[in-house]
Every structure is written in C-alpha cells, then in structure tokens.
A and B are shown apart, each in its own frame.
Chain A
Amino acid sequence: MTSEFAVELRDVVKRFITPEGNDMAAVDHVTMQIKNGEFFSMLGSSGCGKTTSLRMVAGFEWPTEGEVYIEGKAMGHTPPFQRKVNTVFQSYALFQHMTVFQNLAFGLEMEGAKEDEIKKRVGRALEMVQLTGMDRRKPKQLSGGQQQRVALARALVKTPDVLLLDEPLGALDLKLRKEMQLELKALQQQLGITFIYVTHDQEEALTMSDRIAVMSKGKIQQLGTPVEIYERPTNKFVADFIGESNFLEGKIKSISKKEASVFVPSLNAEVVGMPISEGLVKGEEVIVSIRPEKIRIAEKDAVNQNMFRATVTNTVYIGVDTKVFVDAHGAKLKVWEQNRISRLDPKSFYTVGQEVWLMLLPENTIVLKKD
C-alpha cells in the first residue's frame, strides 16, 4: 500500500542538551507532508532545524515528541538500515578505503544482491551520473564535483523511495553548483523519486523545488511553492530572508475582503489597494513589504495613487541591475532597476540628490502582521 505522502512529519519535536546543560529544541513542533515524487526543500540558515529534521527522516536521530512517517508507516525507533530512504551527505562520506565501484556496491551487497546484478546496477548508476569508467578510482583521485556525483550515485543505486540530500552542493564552486542544480532537478524528474533537499541557499531552493519549507528557530515559517514564498511571504521573516524587501511601518486605514489601505507615517501618505493576508483588522499596526525590483522610478511628475516623492541618496551599478537608494520623507528605500539599456552614458544614471517619483504598484506590495 502506498501512501499519498512519501514522508510526513507530525508535530515533531527534537530536543538536545547543549554543552552548557540547557535544554534546546532544535526542531519545535514541525508538521509537514511531502508528496510522492516531489522535490521538497527545507531552507534556512544554520541552526534552523532543517538538517535535524532531515536526520530524523533518515533515522540518525529520533524525535523527542511526534512521529515521522515514511510511506505512511510510523518510523518510531526504526534504525537507518531498515528505512527505504538514502542520504547524500554534505561531506559526501565516501568510503576512502574503497574504490568508486566498491562504494556503490556496498549498499547493494547489504541487500544481498548477486554479483552480476551488482555489476549491472552499479554500471547503470555510474552512467546516470556520467562517471562511466571511473569505477576503479579511489575517492581521493576524483575532483570535488566527481565525488559529489559518486555520493549521489551511491544513494540512487539503492533505488530508494525517498532521497535525502543534505546541502550536497555546498562544497562546489558557483558555476558547477548551478550546473548540478539543473542536473539534479532533471534527474529527479526523470526518476520520479521524492527528493528532500536541505539548503541554506535560497536561489538553489527556488531553482529546484516544487515546494519549500522556510525554517527558522526550529519552526516552519512558511511552506509553499517558490512563487508563493517569494511573491506572497506570509510574515516579515520570510519576506526578509528570501530575496530583499523594503519594509514600511503603518496602520490599516480601511480594509475590505480583498484589499487594504495603509497609512505610512514615514511617507506621510496612504498606500492604497493592497492585497491582504488573513487575520488583519482595521486600525492594526502592520508592515508594508515591497520588493526593491518591484518599485518603479518615474521621473515625470504625474498625478497618481501610490506615488511618492523621493530623493536619490546613492546608486550602485552591479551589471545586471543598478541599485538606487532613495529617501522618501525619511523612509529609506532601495530600488533595483534592471539595466535594460547600455549604461555607458553616465547621464543614464540617477544623480545623488536628484528628485524622483516612486511608484508602488499595489499588487506588488504585501501587508504583513507586525511581529
């Protein structure tokens, strides 16, 4: 019987005793359901509980409270060697005293596979990660990228229901990492295996994932698709952690089912017609969040809603974008302008002290609860 969910964490808590003797919850009442065939990421900075959560699925740690289910079965204290999941480790953990072939064969030997079957499956796995012919090398004779592929092949050769990946690309250089991101995603789609991917790199998570759990302090801050996470963060932490955001404090002036208008004292103006999240009421102190690339700078003095006068305080050219820093009645905002045109002409930049108009499109702004 297969369950709808490949992996499920139900109200899982993991407590550790710190070296100072304090009780600390590394994972604090986490519940998530990972669907079959999904590329699921846990994203957060170090110490957010993402790796501990993954290790509880692998069986290296047991929850203090709650339960981990794999394919609908409660895992309890099932040891790692009896779970049909396999892990790609951050450090790869390749057995240094074994050849590539022996590393891959190890897991199949444990299943009691016959010699010719082992040969066949190892060969196929090496082909899959494009390492055919490397089977007699020792891990130390391989480059970092190749070692990473061996670690991947060693886990995949077992044909697990779920593949767990703990920051597998962390040790690679940027270019290789980007290549591997796309390769991993393609591999996952081709194999149809559920991937649970732990990373602190938001771009990596956004690139590959079907869904992302943003974690902080042992809790899930938001769980959703990359688009939802980026475009509709549900709290200030997520809006701040994923990408960059401008935050303006304000108070709800009027609210309807779909929209709200917020008075922002630092702009000395009202931002109107913004979509709202649940649970906001009139008069509530809120935070208006706007992505820097979603603010438009209009030079012309036009009369419009949600347009505010501002002064340019600095500009930074970074190739793809020009970062424009502005001051609107004391509210410091950042605006990213894509360099759609060649900036060779110095006149194409805003000058410091220049007066501009900022346009906040209401559909690009988010009203968040103040925390």
Chain B
Amino acid sequence: MNPFRRSPFVIAATILVYVFLYAPIVGLVLYSFNASRANVTFEGFIPAFSDRVVMDGSMVKSSPCGPFHWYCELSKNRDVAEAAGNTLTIAFTATIISTIIGTMAALALQRYNFKMKPFSQLSLYIPIVIPEIVMGIGILTLFSQVFGWMNDTFNLVGSARLSMGIMTVTASHIAFMVPFVALVVQARLTGFDKSYEEAAMDLGANEWITFRRVTLPMILPGVLSGALLAFTLSLDDFVITFFTNGPGSTTLPIYVYGLLRRIITPQVNALSTVWIMVVFLAVLAIQILQNREQKKPS
C-alpha cells in the first residue's frame, strides 16, 4: 500500500479539487430544473405536468413537460437553433481548414531547414500567447479596414458589400486554431522516422502517394487530436467571435452572453446542460474509440 494514498492532505486536496471543478457544473444543471423563472435561488422542481403552463408570479406551477419545462422552452427557441447551427458550421469548417494548414506547417517545420525557420516557429507561438482580446481587436481592425477600402474602391452596394458575418468568424477561428493544430501535430512528429517515407519512395511511390498512404496514416492520431482541440476551441470561443461576428452569425457563446445581459432564466441553464452533455458524450466516444484502437492487436 502506498502510504501517500492514505495521507489526509492528499484526500483533502482531492476533495477540494473535485468540489471546485464540479460543484459549479452540478449547480448549473440543478438550476435548469428550477421552478423559479427569476432563477436567483433554487425554489424546487416544477411539481406537475399539465396541458398548459401555469404560472404563479415568477413561479412555474406546472407545465406540459413537468420538471423539464425549460428544456421544452429551449427546444421552441428558434434563436438557439440558429446559434447552434452557426456554431457547428463555423467549428466544422474552421477545423477542417486549420487542420490541413496546421498539419502542413508542422510537417514543413519538422522536415526542412530554411532561413526563416526560427521565425516561423516563433510566429506559431505568438497567437497562442498574446491575449485573445488583442487578437480579436486586431482581426476586427483588419477586416473593417480592408472591407471599408474594398467597398469604397469597388463601389460595392447592397448585398455585395463586404461585412462581418459567418465568413469573418470562420476566418478568424482558422487564424487562431492553426498554431494549436501545428503544435499538437509537431509534438507527435518528433521521433517520426523519415525512413518510412524514404522506404515508400524507394518502393516507387511519388511524394503525394507517399504522403497519402504512409505519412498520413502514421501521423493520423496526432492530426486527429489536433483537430479535436481546434474543434473544441472553436465551439466555445467567445472573445474573438465577439469582435468578428455580424448579423446572422451569432454563435452559442455570443447568444448565451446576450441572454445573460437581459435576464437569466433557467433556459440558459438548460442550454448549458445540453451543451455539457454533448461535449461529454463526444469525449466519451473518443475515449472508447481510443481504447478499442489500443486493444486491437496492431
């Protein structure tokens, strides 16, 4: 028996960490069942099912969905559906593009020596270390200047005028995701023996076939974890999206923030709970897939 495991300090620290990490989440989920519309304190679950919503002041007495009242309300909310759609569209597009660019960057940095290599490597870290708000303002400035100039120069009118929207959000997400992908892939590439690629070429494969049939399958785990990281970063990005979105490109974090500024109904909690569940299931699925991959006699 490891004496360390019995130490009261370790036990206390463990409990504290779990409380700190998960108590807010448990609270958040609990409040999504709150009978109180004001949602300041937890006033108990919604007690009954009924044909229509019965309110008593700010208290919900009964609802067709019973305790799941706020989830039903959420499902009727068109803005949420639109925001979720935007979020996923942006996340998928930005993940695919940033994974391709980031992987190529990682391969180039690992494989070749060139004059600007130290600079290139450093420039990968900069978007990661500078505050997101600085990057957000920077991207906003860039877009508004370029768009303004182009609109004026080419006399763009009506729907042809360039403005902030899904495209600008996606582009800015790609910009901050590429370094993350590149660094994750780069970490996986260290120790990648170039003789695999040489062997493929030796056997008659040109560069492209070598990449498709040998390099990519071998570095795929790294590429996938880079893509996954990029995807989650895009899903919950607030700051940069805040600066680069426009009409019709509201994402879930922006939408939730908008709700919070008006009134915090338990609907926000219901939305957050669904979100957490989706992420949790995704992580679980990845874990199961990875375990199966490891168990397979490879």
A96 and B220 alpha carbons, distance in the complex (Å): 13
When A89-B195, A91-B193 are in contact, do A58 and B298 touch as well, CB less than 8 Å?
no
Q: Closest Cβ of chain B: how far from A134's Cβ, in Å?
A: 14
Q: Which residue of B lies closest to A80 (CB)?
A: B201
For A86, the chain B residues whose CB sits under 8 A away are: 202-203
Q: Which residue of A lies closest to B201 (CB)?
A: A80
Among A79, A94, A97, point to the contact of B217 (Cβ < 8 A): A97
B297 and A79 form a contact (CB under 8 A): no
Q: Is B198 an interface residue (CB 8 A)?
A: yes
A93 and B193 form a contact (CB under 8 A): yes
Main secondary structure of the interface of B (DSSP, over half): helix
A107 and B298 form a contact (CB under 8 A): no
B202 and A97 form a contact (CB under 8 A): no
User: In the complex, which range does the number of interface residues on chain A fall in?
Assistant: 20 to 34
A91 and B206 alpha carbons, distance in the complex (Å): 21
A107 and B203 form a contact (CB under 8 A): yes
A110 and B297 form a contact (CB under 8 A): no
Q: Is B213 an interface residue (CB 8 A)?
A: yes
B218 and A97 form a contact (CB under 8 A): yes
A158 and B201 alpha carbons, distance in the complex (Å): 13
Q: Which residue of A lies closest to B218 (CB)?
A: A97
For A90, the chain B residues whose CB sits under 8 A away are: 195
A96 and B205 form a contact (CB under 8 A): no
When A138-B298, A141-B297 are in contact, do A107 and B204 touch as well, CB less than 8 Å?
yes
Q: Is A81 an interface residue (CB 8 A)?
A: yes
Q: Closest Cβ of chain B: how far from A100's Cβ, in Å?
A: 13
Q: Is B199 an interface residue (CB 8 A)?
A: yes
Q: Closest Cβ of chain B: how far from A349's Cβ, in Å?
A: 50
Q: Closest Cβ of chain A: how far from B207's Cβ, in Å?
A: 8
Q: Is A154 an interface residue (CB 8 A)?
A: yes
Listed in ascending order, the chain B residues whose CB lies under 8 Å from chain A are: 193, 195-196, 198-206, 209, 213-214, 217-218, 297-298
Q: List 16 A–B pairs whose Cβ atoms lie within 8 Å, in order of A's numbering.
A: A59-B201, A59-B202, A60-B201, A79-B201, A80-B202, A81-B202, A85-B202, A87-B202, A89-B198, A93-B195, A93-B198, A95-B196, A95-B199, A95-B200, A106-B205, A111-B204
